[in-house]
Amino acid sequence: MATLHDVQKQAFSDLKSQLPLTPVRLKHPFPERSLRMLGLIKLDGEVFSSEKFLRIVFLRISLPLYVTVYSTFIRPRIAFDLPVLSCEVICMGSQRVFVLDIHGVGSNPHSDPLLLARLLSIRASYPDLLTFQKKAGGGIESIHSEAACRMKIGQDMEGQALKLFQEYLAAYLDLAAHQKPLGDEALVAAQAEFDTYLKTVINHDPGVKGNIMFFGRQGGLERALDIFYGI
């Protein structure tokens, strides 16, 4: 039976069936352990790029007490003006935290109304999962779309969560397949929107904060921006 421990294997399989994936050489290659945390925390994973995506990230963080974090992140190349796909899974004992969203990087997280409608329809087809939906808070959740999923579930709901993830990913890849590059003027505007988005990420994203905690501000920012954004 598939579980959320398989979310990245499934995502890689789905992506590889549609896209040529090129491995990315990071400034600080995986695996890596945080000396600040006495080597108790291990970061591992794979990072790829493709024609339309600058970063396709499969990051795994192993924490003490059998806690594992699976961070799956797709950052498009700015020239294609696509949204970001982000999925965080935290496995701790029999509990699972599941956060999934596809959102724009500009001032409007619902930049594609047809995509938003499709995602909302997909999410609505999982009424049992929706009983665990949490309301949006502040911080990084302020840039989430209306279709974001924020849930704490048990092992009995993992299969449904994994299927929901696959359907979101399929909708995302369908959109990307037909996306054309921007013209010069639109590209300048898209870059400005991304720069504003990145400031929010640096200030509020748990992944950035985690890297800073593990490796200090300079080392943590360098790692986070390289891993997730290719900067």
Region 55-77: what's the mean pLDDT?
Answer: 94
Contacting residues for 101 by C-beta, under 8 A, at least 6 apart: 85, 86, 87, 144, 145, 147, 148, 149
**The tokens 């600058």 sit on which residue?**
54
Mean pLDDT is highest, among 31-40, 109-118, 181-190, for: 181-190
* Whether the Cβ atoms of residue 30 and residue 46 lie closer than 8 Å to each other: yes
Q: Quick check: 111 pLDDT over 70?
A: no
Q: Are 214 and 206 in contact (CB under 8 A)?
A: no
- Candidates 87, 89, 26, 15; CA nearest to 53 is 15
Can you tell me the distance from the alpha carbon of 56 to that of 42, in angstroms, rounded to the nearest whole number? 20
Give the pLDDT confidence score for residue 190 in this predicted structure: 87
Overall average pLDDT of the 49-74 stretch: 94
Q: What percent of the chain has pLDDT over 70?
A: 95
C-alpha to C-alpha distance for 28 and 222, rounded to whole angstroms: 9
Q: How far apart are CA 49 and CA 91, in angstroms?
A: 27
140 or 79, higher pLDDT: 79
**Domains in the chain and their CATH numbers?**
4-229 (3.40.1500.20)
Mean pLDDT of 83-98: 95
Phi, psi (deg, nearest 5) at residue 106: -95, -160
Buried b / exposed e across 80-95, counting CB within 10 Å, b at 16+?
bbbbbbbbbbbbeeee
Instruction: Please answer whether residues 119 and 102 qualify as being in contact, where contact means their C-beta atoms are separated by less than 8 angstroms.
Output: yes
CA dihedral 110, 113, 111, 78 (to 10 degrees): 130
* pLDDT(136) > 80: no
- DSSP for residue 82: P
d(CA 93, CA 134): 20
**Rounded to whole angstroms, how far apart are CA atoms 93 and 91?**
6
Q: What is the pTM (predicted TM-score) of this model?
A: 0.93
Q: How confident is the model over 132-136, as a mean pLDDT?
A: 87
CA distance 167 to 64: 32
pLDDT score of 39 more than 90: no
For residues 103 and 205, the model is more confident at 103
Three-class SS state of 173: helix
Q: 107 pLDDT exceeds 80? A: no
pLDDT-derived band at 121 (thresholds 50, 70, 90) equals: very high
What's the pLDDT tens digit per position in 7-18?
A: 999 999 999 999
Q: 141 pLDDT exceeds 80?
A: no
What rounded mean pLDDT belongs to the chain? 91
pLDDT in tens, 193-203: 888 888 888 88
pLDDT band at 55 (very low <50, low <70, confident <90, very high): very high
Tokens in use for 18? 């549609």
Q: What is the pLDDT of residues 206-215, one digit of tens each?
A: 888 888 888 9
